[in-house]
Structure 1
């Protein structure tokens, strides 16, 4: 791991002998695999916008709609304070948390591609149910299926990309997952901005379009090959070598193939990956890669900002359309930052990006907290100058996150773990990711109870 303190378990001892050339097939497999990020990104972007649409609230949450339009002196956080609405948003992440444990044995026994296909089907079912929802129960069930898709996708896609990528370019290739996540958020914000003007079923279009990346991922998953690592692990050596030659663009893959076989022998000796993950020899990887990095990635608060961006910007004094447009601009920063990271992370290393951008994020959050503590709340309306200033600060925060903790939070864990515990470790990463996300969401509810809405 460039720039880090723990050596990657993803690169073999013969790495200096590896050869590769760019091939269109390799590019295609990367694009298909990376589509898994678009599922999570689109939902993350679209859900916050939909829950601020009047047509959606009138149909499913009339009390929230009335509070939103009647209590003019309340902040929008109070207006949206509703347990069922919270269940609508959080049910997806609870489902994703549970499903990641079902994804782990499937990913290990049947391969990464199998989990990608299952995730795409589950997400497609969820998108259809949400778009056709007639009651809250249909919405919640749809969210559970969406969560299943994200649970399987988040577990398998980073592994798929990491294992398909040449060792020298693994950082840039693995960040395609973050790139498509950012692209999904950006597209979702643009869709919400347009569908918010389509009455009364614009919200159905927003939720239903989640099926598009799911269909693309499903079709691509059926067309793509399994990773050479997984094929070797399953004992399909001849097929594994053919795939390796195809994605590397050369017949000279002896060194890498031998490393894969040796790693596979160690992996087959492991009967219980989760128990093995807890052994002392893997403790540094466990603490840093499976626990620390995903937890701190979420504790930055960036995903909460992205999810609630429309509500946040409405609270800062923007109208509904302006709020959606402002969050669209902010998410554009995330996409640009990810591209910067893709081209620079293999050159400068992971650690430098963590430290430099992390310091910027701390400064931005301190500034935001001070301004909101002084100017926000108690029925006060923020001035346009202060609101614009906060949007810029949030923009800079997202720009720092997008080139550091965002992409590296997925990249570094996938690099740290050897093949025998990789699927189990990725499940732990997803568990921490979704658990901390849910805790942050419920923390907001607890804060409302400390300062009850009138």
Structure 2
């Protein structure tokens, strides 16, 4: 939980805004690589005679845990956290080093302004309920909710069970899980390549359409072969290949859209004064629905059969509608100036006032007019 809470925020704060998307998605790439390695190891461990290979699969989790622990000891603090602790000179030096240039005054002033504003907020959890944070709270809840209701965990967690159910042999089902893992990694690399060029909204919507088509296709193929009694008889090889192909296309759609963007977008939209609290909600909602889907999947598969894919397709439609109407584009906007996307949005602008989430430049303009208090003081 701490890893999921801190890493996306850390990357968003450290990355230059022009490359924030690509660098942040490196987090998701690491996850997909880990899933692939786990699938490959499970495939070979399952061949160990005696049935004790599962112990190696379970014990192997200590390796990435050690890497994370050791790596965290050498990571530098972000300039934001240094400013929060009053280490402004060191924060400016760190910012110059991270950006690779000496002219960081404008960005540094924005970070300082955000820090000053955050200090006026005494109760970040209570402030999340304020009207001006309504867009942030909505995104922090709905993005992770929809991410899990795409059905991706049904594929990635239970791929061997699912493929075995639709007629694959035991080894073939594990290999199919490896194939989807390879697709997952490759598609995440595609997202890194294009997220800062085509934008978040395009990938969200394209991925949603791609997943919807594939889910309907898989439901149709499985329904035609299984019917409602769940007894397919002999599954032709070409039929199984077609099902796996559509599942792989579905995984690719998720892996370059809702997979990485589900972590990227929430981590880059929260102002500093509520950033930690809002990200906690984002992670909690994600983990809760991961747990729920994992617990009810087998029961749903027994009762819904091929209709399970249509169940998740329904939520893909809902989440695509949400993105189209309510999610503004966040590409290429400095993280401390993200408030402008809500002020110009057709719906969220009614919740965000003109003096909310100001930048350092706006603060200087306010002070020049005799305004000695921060306009963001809404506590």
Give deviations 1:37-57, integer Å, cap 9, x for gaps.
xxxxxxxxxxxxxxxxxxxxx
Q: Aligned residue for 1:252?
A: 103
Aligned to 1:187: 37
Whole-Å separation in 1 of the counterparts to 2:256 and 2:20: 16
What corresponds to 1:327 in structure 2? 177
Given that 1:171 and 1:346 are in contact with CA atoms closer than 8 Å, whether structure 2 keeps it comes out as: yes
CA distance in 1, matches of 2:176, 2:303: 29
Give the alignment partner of residue 270 of structure 1, picking from 118, 121, 139: 121
Partner deviation per Cα, 1:379-437 (whole Å, 9 max, x = no partner): 33333222111100100000111111111111111111111111111111111111222
**2:39, 2:178 within 8 Å by CA — same for their partners in 1?**
yes
Cα displacement (A) at 1:226: 1.1
**1:439 pairs with 2:292:** yes
Q: Distance in 1 between matches of 2:32 and 2:110?
A: 34
Is the 8 Å Cα contact of residues 317 and 384 (structure 1) preserved in structure 2? no
Query: Aligned residue for 2:202?
Result: 352
- The offset of 1:446, in angstroms, is 4.4
Aligned: 1:224 with 2:75: yes
Q: State the match for 1:414 in structure 2.
A: 267
In 2: Cα distance, 1:293 partner to 1:378 partner? 33
3-state SS of paired residue (1:226): coil
Matched length: 301
- 1:317 corresponds to: 167
* Matched position secondary structure for 2:181: helix
Secondary structure in 2 aligned to 1:175?
A: helix
Deviation at 1:303, TM superposition (A): 1.8
Which protein has the larger Cα radius of gyration, Structure 1 or Structure 2? 2
Determine the C-alpha separation between the residues in 2 that align with 1:351 and 1:169: 16
SS class of match (1:270) = coil
Question: 1:157 Cα shift?
Answer: 0.6
1:336 to 164, 186, 195: 186
Q: What RMSD over aligned residues (CA atoms) do the two structures have, in Å? A: 1.8
Please tell me whether residue 175 in structure 1 is matched to residue 25 in structure 2: yes
List structure 1 runs of 4+ shifted beyond 6 angstroms. Answer: none
1:379 equivalent in alignment to 2:231: yes
CA-CA distance at 1:448 after TM superposition? 6.5
Q: 2:152 aligns with which of 299, 302, 309?
A: 302
Output the CA distance in 2 between the equivalents of 1:447 and 1:168.
Answer: 43
Q: After superposition, where does 1:50-449 map in structure 2 within 5 Å?
A: 151-200=1-50, 201-287=52-138, 289-376=139-226, 377-381=229-233, 382-447=235-300
Are the counterparts in 1 of residues 39 and 174 from structure 2 also a CA contact under 8 Å?
A: yes
Corresponding residue for residue 376 of structure 2? none
- Checking the alignment, whether the CA contact within 8 Å between 1:245 and 1:252 is kept in structure 2 is yes
1:313 and 1:213, CA in 2 relative to 1: closer, same or farther beyond 3 A?
Answer: same
Structure 2 gaps, min length 5 = 306-379
CA distance in 2, matches of 1:237, 1:187: 42
2:154 and 2:297 in contact (8 A); partners too:
no
Q: Which runs of 5+ in 1 are unaligned?
A: 1-150
2:153–2:293 CA contact under 8 A, matched in 1? no
